[in-house]
Structure 1
């Protein structure tokens, strides 16, 4: 091959002056083409200059009208670190009955706020507006509905954006790593304050479905019914990889500054890229094929490297709209908690032992990763085979005997239906004979729980109101 290339090169060098002159003119003409326009980069640079001149985002203004529960005692987190106190933002709808037995706790997804439905203090539509209300799937004429912003969030609950009482500065990345279990334990502190001993139901989708399952396993005596939608019993490597890519995009922004960006420019570009990746995982190819196809924004114009296809303009718009409405550190912490979710018994036991050794014994549901073994010790008890892993998961939900509804969506790529089937399977193997599983043939992907009011809503309503 080298010989052939060499001879070819020689032939090119031996061509007459006319051939060489033509080639030179062609190269000269090409080099004089004007540089391509990048209006998308121009907009980012303009936005960056505006951010440098303007005030930082105030996340508390994104969601208003919530109440705040202040827990004034120390709160130990699963992976070390103690919050000296914490706040949980929450909103309620309906009325609590005399027996205090009609409460439903709604768990949110990653970036969800407590504002699930509109009310007098905030008339803007909530993120689950069409599912909650009089006569709706979650009927506020019958139930007292509570929704919180999770611990680690930025919409009123304590998170990295909050001020550390010990320093007077924002926590930033000195905030302790969280687990879904930490979020659930904080929610139950709120329920204690509200005088709610037993929930009629724990309901959630996506990360909310993780919380809902965790609540039922962690406090089985306090959860009457369980609804988990588009969630999992343990995070899959594929979804972990997708969230990792989002965090890497965010942390690569020069303005991220290892999380200490609150006194400067927000990592706007990194957040925008992270949200674009996330949006791809939330919807489905069939929906986008029907909605956008291969149509371009300006088909009469030459192709461009900036948003050109309609699907690209959609992603650009959605990610730009989000990037300054949610705290970057909260995205890192809450998405990492999702990665670490695992309801297995071995995980529960290891964390319980760790907390006991630290003198902070408490019921534990999940962990992020194995704690490092003591010097000279190795843990040979971790499940390795598929059968061992399944038995470990079954043991982890052995106390969750509530009537349960599990919903999966066939077009969901972030939490595939295989994971919903696994939840139903381990609950049944644990002895729960009141598990209902539905698999929806919807084209909206993971976001089906936000969109399909008819099918998702009917399933929830039937489960909550059915006398069992």
Structure 2
């Protein structure tokens, strides 16, 4: 009979304070000087227990290991944060941050809003900030659309002097010249910086929406923004301006309300999300949803899913910048080449990603990331998609008409809206036809696909039909050659589709890698290339 086996586990050592993180992420500095100590901490917590466990044969005494166990300070940091948040969750303050960036104005719509996929917001808030002065006839208003996780705080204000995310682009004589224009920026619905989103309270039951919040689209966000404009008495915008996700919204605003939008600026945006960007956002959502603390979205009274959020942000950061920039900025340099390699952040590029995730993991609501990023995936200005959504809205119009009148009970309404999505019975398998399609230069272009080799002068006819309402709207389309998330061919596609509609007032600008190596984030950083082009177009 085999001898019994005994599990010996080390006791949990005391928690030690981590070293400092990166103190600078300036793109102009060729050398970052992280002083985070990667190898000097003893393993602890669950990592300590796992690494110290030794299954020992009872017939002979345990012997020393051939090599010492690796330390994992990055996991220690996550566990320390979890412990801190757990302690806070037992206090009255709660673990969830306020998700606000300071003073802003709030518009509250008491009229219900029907969303594209059938959901209803019985009422909603839109957080916004303004700069400049609205003229007498209200003809100088510019609606500024944000990227995925930005707040309405694009520029400092008297009540919130903190620099905004587009601080240098807004102000007297700036690209958005406040001596000329009245600039309005909102936090999108679905967000968490003052506008109604998953972390908001559902007026129907007094509880947080969480994942009871309905699926959103870019067009839904724009509808909420136009409710704000209606409330301000602004019938027509001088311009609709946006970058990244904001570039999508800017195009959507013009396509939905062409008579209300005088000009369009779309920077590093697209007319339809393509598979690579969908795949990257899917990966971020999956990492977040696999965090046990996410709890299917119902985490507001407990520890938020900071681990998943950190990893999701690291993945996103990889798509926001470019390889050439990182080659110049980090190269293959390690944080401390005198120490042995480690699985935790070791190379400078790893410490940069770690810093990005650490900084952001508690600054944005996890559910907002899910909803807003999914809305980006669903974006498509093609005629087929727009027609299908319009048909859905027509079918769901009775919900809005009957809302609050007792035509159906809440239980019946909920049952009719239950998600019926199921996973495929068999996993996806590569088909011979897929490879043949890629090899064939004569593959026909369908409604939502375009061969990588297609000429930018030949956008899909479906997209041209879907953008027909923009045929007379002056439009600036700006792209960046080093952008991998919204690649330059997508801006070529927008410009070409607009020209195919008969629009003769399309300005297309592409910044080559000689002008910018900042990738997708160029719209946040390049005041001359991006800002200068916008200023000239708006004049």
TM-score of the aligned structures, taking structure 1 as reference length: 0.87
Q: Does 1:392 align with 2:462?
A: yes
Do the aligned residues in 1 keep the contact of 2:382 with 2:448 (CA within 8 Å)? Answer: no
Looking at structure 2, the residues matched to 160 and 282 of structure 1 have their Cα atoms a distance apart, in angstroms, of 25
Measure how far apart 1:391 and its partner are.
1.2
Q: Does 1:98 align with 2:136?
A: yes
Query: Could you say which residue in structure 1 is the equivalent of 2:242?
Result: 204
Instruction: Provide closer, same or farther for how the CA distance between residues 360 and 444 of structure 1 changes in structure 2, counting only shifts above 3 A.
Output: farther
Query: Could you say which residue in structure 1 is the equivalent of 2:388?
Result: 350
**Correspondence 1:410-429 to 2 at 5 A:** 410-429=481-500
Q: Does 1:168 align with 2:206?
A: yes
Q: Does 1:405 align with 2:476?
A: yes
Q: Does 1:56 align with 2:95?
A: yes
Uncovered stretches (5+) of structure 1, i.e. residues with no partner: 1-27, 363-370, 373-381
Query: Could you say which residue in structure 2 is the equivalent of 1:383?
Result: 447
What's the C-alpha RMSD, in Å, of the aligned pairs?
A: 1.9
Query: Could you say which residue in structure 2 is the equivalent of 1:37?
Result: 71
Looking at structure 2, the residues matched to 325 and 360 of structure 1 have their Cα atoms a distance apart, in angstroms, of 38
Looking at structure 2, the residues matched to 149 and 383 of structure 1 have their Cα atoms a distance apart, in angstroms, of 32
Q: Does 1:463 align with 2:497?
A: no
Looking at structure 1, the residues matched to 376 and 187 of structure 2 have their Cα atoms a distance apart, in angstroms, of 15
Q: Any idea what the Cα deviations from partners look like across 1:442-463, whole Å, max 9, x if unmatched?
A: 1000000000111111100000
Q: State the aligned residue count.
A: 420
Looking at structure 2, the residues matched to 252 and 172 of structure 1 have their Cα atoms a distance apart, in angstroms, of 16
Looking at structure 1, the residues matched to 459 and 157 of structure 2 have their Cα atoms a distance apart, in angstroms, of 45
Instruction: Provide closer, same or farther for how the CA distance between residues 236 and 86 of structure 1 changes in structure 2, counting only shifts above 3 A.
Output: same
Do the aligned residues in 2 keep the contact of 1:59 with 1:327 (CA within 8 Å)? Answer: no
Name whichever structure is richer in helix by fraction: 1
Instruction: Provide closer, same or farther for how the CA distance between residues 330 and 36 of structure 1 changes in structure 2, counting only shifts above 3 A.
Output: same
Secondary structure of 2:219's aligned partner: helix
Q: Does 1:430 align with 2:501?
A: yes
**Correspondence 1:258-269 to 2 at 5 A:** 258-269=296-307
Measure how far apart 1:109 and its partner are.
0.4
Do the aligned residues in 2 keep the contact of 1:352 with 1:361 (CA within 8 Å)? Answer: no
Query: Could you say which residue in structure 2 is the equivalent of 1:449?
Result: 523
Instruction: Provide closer, same or farther for how the CA distance between residues 360 and 210 of structure 1 changes in structure 2, counting only shifts above 3 A.
Output: farther
Do the aligned residues in 2 keep the contact of 1:57 with 1:325 (CA within 8 Å)? Answer: no
Q: Any idea what the Cα deviations from partners look like across 1:33-76, whole Å, max 9, x if unmatched?
A: 1111111111111111001112323334x311110000001111
Uncovered stretches (5+) of structure 2, i.e. residues with no partner: 1-61, 89-93, 401-419, 422-445
Secondary structure of 1:342's aligned partner: coil
Looking at structure 1, the residues matched to 533 and 399 of structure 2 have their Cα atoms a distance apart, in angstroms, of 38
Looking at structure 2, the residues matched to 90 and 384 of structure 1 have their Cα atoms a distance apart, in angstroms, of 34
Looking at structure 1, the residues matched to 242 and 464 of structure 2 have their Cα atoms a distance apart, in angstroms, of 20
Secondary structure of 1:50's aligned partner: helix
Query: Could you say which residue in structure 1 is the equivalent of 2:103?
Result: 65
TM-score of the aligned structures, taking structure 2 as reference length: 0.76
**Correspondence 1:32-181 to 2 at 5 A:** 32-54=66-88, 55-60=94-99, 62-181=100-219
Secondary structure of 1:120's aligned partner: coil
Instruction: Provide closer, same or farther for how the CA distance between residues 98 and 384 of structure 1 changes in structure 2, counting only shifts above 3 A.
Output: closer
Looking at structure 1, the residues matched to 245 and 146 of structure 2 have their Cα atoms a distance apart, in angstroms, of 7
Runs of 4+ in 1 over 6 A off after TM superposition: none
Do the aligned residues in 1 keep the contact of 2:198 with 2:213 (CA within 8 Å)? Answer: yes
Instruction: Provide closer, same or farther for how the CA distance between residues 276 and 384 of structure 1 changes in structure 2, counting only shifts above 3 A.
Output: closer
1:184 alignment partner, one of 222, 247, 252: 222
Q: Any idea what the Cα deviations from partners look like across 1:197-251, whole Å, max 9, x if unmatched?
A: 1100000000000000000110000000100010111000000000000000000
Instruction: Provide closer, same or farther for how the CA distance between residues 317 and 432 of structure 1 changes in structure 2, counting only shifts above 3 A.
Output: same
Do the aligned residues in 2 keep the contact of 1:233 with 1:343 (CA within 8 Å)? Answer: yes
Do the aligned residues in 2 keep the contact of 1:76 with 1:360 (CA within 8 Å)? Answer: no
Looking at structure 2, the residues matched to 30 and 294 of structure 1 have their Cα atoms a distance apart, in angstroms, of 35
Measure how far apart 1:30 and its partner are.
8.9
